[in-house]
């Protein structure tokens, strides 16, 4: 019996014990690699009420701009609405649409958490509309498989960043890191569950294989340039533990193992890349 059949069966019994999907990912311990801050970095620590050095604050705001999920961010709410449209038009079953609704509920929870953080940091920022800049958010999602890859890869990017925030020098961010990380792993697992269903047959696997050439490079590109001039500053201020190349490699190791387990060969990591 496939996992989606199990969900369908559980649904009929009126009990969906499958959500949250992070539970099974953490059942065998921490699924994500730990990032060790370089020993020499100064131990900065700033809480919400502390005055923030100018450079620190501008780096923190730059980092949070990437995290779109914020109640005051109109583009985020618009993006959430498109998610429901996609579920309605592309998802094959009610069970899959229900999982997507669970995902949305959690992203809205994150939007409240990041809103609180933003208000504590900079009220103008809390109200700012920040359209999704990275091209991964604008790749066409024309099939259930496209959307499955979006969640598998893009939510996982969020999970890897949140993993690194556990060591963050900004206390409000460190406090919410574990919850965001866990939820994002669950969202990525939702995408993976859909991919598992899609790859049940040869046609689905062929489609997934084709779409990998679109989504895999975008996923790796989401970590920015390996020679980013900002990365050393983020590390020095304790806002990040490692550089873009290192977190990207850890991410690649994780996703490659998951793809191979589905019978999918990961593409060449330099294929179709825009930011190496």
Comparing C-alpha atoms, which of 181, 21, 26 is closest to residue 98?
21
Burial of 69 (C-beta count, 10 Å sphere; 0-12/13-18/19+): buried
Give 64's contacts (C-beta < 8 A, 6+ positions apart): 70, 114, 117, 118, 121, 125
**Residue 256, both tokens:** 């490659």
- The backbone torsions φ and ψ at residue 170, rounded to the nearest 5 degrees and listed phi first, read -95, 105
CA distances to 73, 160, 232 from 112, rounded to whole Å, are 11, 20, 30
**Contact mark string toward Fe ion, 209..228, x via CB under 5 A:** --------------------
Q: Is residue 181 within the footprint of Fe ion (CB under 5 A)? A: no
What's the rounded Cα separation, in Å, for the pair 74 and 50?
A: 29
User: CB of 141: closest distance to Fe ion in angstroms?
Assistant: 15
User: CB of 107: closest distance to Fe ion in angstroms?
Assistant: 5
Among 100, 187, 240, 248, binds Fe ion (CB under 5 A): 187
Q: Quickly tell me which residue has 């990040």 as its tokens.
A: 240
What's the rounded Cα separation, in Å, for the pair 64 and 200?
A: 38
User: Looking at beta carbons only, is 155 or 221 nearer to Fe ion?
Assistant: 155
User: Looking at beta carbons only, is 155 or 164 nearer to Fe ion?
Assistant: 155
Q: How many CB atoms lie within 10 A of CB 276?
A: 13
Helical H runs in the chain? 3-12, 22-26, 54-66, 74-90, 94-121, 123-127, 144-150, 156-165, 171-198, 202-221, 231-236, 244-261
User: CB of 137: closest distance to Fe ion in angstroms?
Assistant: 12
Question: Taking contact as CB under 5 A, which single stretch among the options 48-56, 60-68, 177-185, 230-238 is the one that binds Fe ion?
Answer: 177-185
User: CB of 227: closest distance to Fe ion in angstroms?
Assistant: 28
**Contact mark string toward Fe ion, 142..171, x via CB under 5 A:** -------------x----------------
User: CB of 110: closest distance to Fe ion in angstroms?
Assistant: 7
User: Looking at beta carbons only, is 35 or 79 nearer to Fe ion?
Assistant: 79
Burial of 199 (C-beta count, 10 Å sphere; 0-12/13-18/19+): buried
User: Looking at beta carbons only, is 155 or 197 nearer to Fe ion?
Assistant: 155
User: Looking at beta carbons only, is 183 or 237 nearer to Fe ion?
Assistant: 183
User: Looking at beta carbons only, is 21 or 52 nearer to Fe ion?
Assistant: 21
User: Looking at beta carbons only, is 141 or 187 nearer to Fe ion?
Assistant: 187
User: Looking at beta carbons only, is 31 or 243 nearer to Fe ion?
Assistant: 31
User: CB of 128: closest distance to Fe ion in angstroms?
Assistant: 20
In contact, 214 and 139? CB cutoff 8 Å: yes
User: CB of 187: closest distance to Fe ion in angstroms?
Assistant: 4
User: CB of 111: closest distance to Fe ion in angstroms?
Assistant: 11
> In the complex, which residues of this chain contact Fe ion (CB under 5 A)?
155, 184, 187
């Amino acid at each position: 019996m496939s996992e989606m059949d199990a969900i369908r069966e559980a649904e009929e019994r009126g009990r969906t014990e499958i959500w949250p999907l992070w539970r099974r990912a953490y059942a065998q311990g921490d699924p994500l690699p730990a990032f060790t801050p370089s020993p020499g970095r100064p131990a900065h620590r700033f809480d919400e009420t502390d005055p923030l050095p100018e450079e620190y604050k501008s780096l923190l705001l730059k980092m949070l701009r990437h995290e779109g999920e914020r109640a005051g961010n109109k583009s985020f709410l618009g993006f959430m609405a498109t998610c429901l449209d996609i579920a309605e038009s592309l998802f094959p079953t009610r069970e899959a649409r229900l999982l997507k609704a669970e995902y949305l509920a959690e992203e809205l929870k994150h939007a409240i958490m990041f809103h609180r953080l933003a208000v504590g940091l900079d009220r103008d920022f809390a109200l700012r509309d920040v359209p999704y800049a990275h091209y991964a958010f604008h790749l066409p999602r024309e099939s259930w498989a496209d959307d499955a890859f979006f969640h598998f890869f893009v939510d996982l990017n969020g999970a890897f960043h949140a993993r690194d925030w556990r060591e963050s020098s900004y206390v409000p961010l460190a406090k919410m890191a574990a919850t965001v990380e866990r939820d994002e792993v669950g969202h990525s697992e939702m995408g993976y569950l859909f991919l598992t269903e899609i790859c049940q047959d040869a046609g689905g696997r062929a489609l997934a294989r084709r779409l990998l050439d679109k989504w895999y490079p975008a996923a790796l590109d989401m970590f920015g340039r390996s020679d980013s001039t900002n990365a050393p500053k983020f590390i020095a201020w304790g806002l990040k533990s490692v550089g873009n190349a290192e977190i990207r490699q850890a991410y690649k190791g994780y996703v490659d193992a998951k793809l191979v387990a589905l019978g999918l060969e990961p593409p060449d990591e330099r294929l179709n890349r825009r930011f190496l």
